[in-house]
Amino acid sequence: MATATGLFFLTTSAFSVTSKRPSVSLLVNKVHSFRLRAANIEGSEIEGKEEVGISEKKKIFVAGATGNTGKRIVEQLLAKGFAVKAGVLDVDKAKSTLPGQNPDLQIVKADVTEGSARLADAIGNDSDAVICATGFRRSLDFLAPWKVDNFGTVNLVDACQKLGINRFILISSILVNGAAMGQLFNPVYIILNVMGLVLVAKLQAERYIRKSGINYTIIRPGGLKNDPPQGNIVMQPEDTLFRGSISRDQVAEVAVEALLHPESHYKVVEIVASTDAPKRSFEELFGSIEQQ
């Protein structure tokens, strides 16, 4: 699976009955057990299972998990207490790239270009959400951006729908809709689209996601930097930003936090980093963007 790309410039106890008539203490235990079950119904499914001694974590499938952005997403998901199923092209490479000996990490072979049926098998029935951090690899194949960034993403969405997974997060890019923004002659827009119309391919995938009915968060980062974060995250609505850059660590953070905050649902957000921007919570950042 190809790795993520972006504009380079720029998450009862049991008891037995020993007599026909229950004792007072037994009745108390029953009432307590009923209250525990009621509380579990109102709380999360995970909390309910922990009451009976079963610990289960939400499992997130990450497509493009060995990419520069994907591996950061995997690391941050694990740090936040999620289980991760990492979808990769090269399993051996992934074992040396991703955090080793972690019981919450599962590595599976998955190629987004091979169709939704195979992807559904790789994602499995145990995944709760999918994060797509794929991107084409530069090659002489000018159709690669369409195979990966468009059709590959579509295959992932279709696989989710086959499995009943209703949470999908996509790492896209600013300027994907540059023509509509009046940025048709922006040098970066031109350069990237010369490389197989990559931004157009990403935009088509975005449109498919938005029409699919799946609960999405589309994240459009500025120029991706491997350096540690410098400055705070600036989040704007779609088709707003056409310059700026951001650390891949922050992009990964936004993707993981999108899993934790309902304010991120059904939204397209554009992000860069700025040393002049104030520090804002993710509730505030996501909450400042209107649903589409």
> Each residue of 225-276: pLDDT tens digit?
999 999 999 999 999 999 999 999 999 999 999 999 999 999 999 999 999 9
Give the closest residue to 169 by CA, choosing from 129, 127, 117, 223: 129
**281 Cα distance to chain centroid:** 19
Dump pLDDT digits (tens) for 111-123.
999 999 999 999 9
Q: What span, in angstroms and rounded, lies between the C-alpha atoms of 140 and 196?
A: 10
What pLDDT is attached to residue 100? 78
CA distances from 263 to 97, 221, 279, 284 (A): 32, 18, 18, 9
What pLDDT is attached to residue 143? 84
Neighbours of 238 (CB within 10 A): 21
Q: What span, in angstroms and rounded, lies between the C-alpha atoms of 185 and 36?
A: 62
What is the DSSP code string of the chain? Answer: -PPP---S----------SSS--HHHHHHHHHHHHHHHHHHHS-HHHHHHHTT-----EEEEETTTSTTHHHHHHHHHHTT-EEEEEES-HHHHHHHSPTT-TTEEEEE--GGG-HHHHHHHH-TT--EEEE---PPPSS-TTHHIIIIIHHHHHHHHHHHHHT--EEEEE--TTTTTTTTT-TT-HHHHHHHHTTSHHHHHHHHHHHHHHHT-EEEEEEESEEE-SPP-SEEEEEETT---S-EEEHHHHHHHHHHHHH-GGGTTEEEEEEEETTSPP--HHHHHHTSPP-
What pLDDT is attached to residue 135? 87
Neighbours of 38 (CB within 10 A): 10
Q: Which residues, other chains included, contact 44 with Cβ-Cβ below 8 Å and sequence gap of 6+?
A: none
Contact (Cβ atoms closer than 8 angstroms) between residue 25 and residue 46: no
Give the closest residue to 250 by CA, choosing from 132, 92, 4, 76: 76
**Domains, the chain, ordered by start:** 59-288 (3.40.50.720)
- For residue 109, the cross-strand partners are 88
Residue ranges in the chain modelled with pLDDT below 50: 2, 4-55
| 3-state helix/strand/coil string of 225-254 | ECCCCCCEEEEEECCCCCCCEEEHHHHHHH
What pLDDT is attached to residue 202? 97
- For residue 237, the cross-strand partners are 269
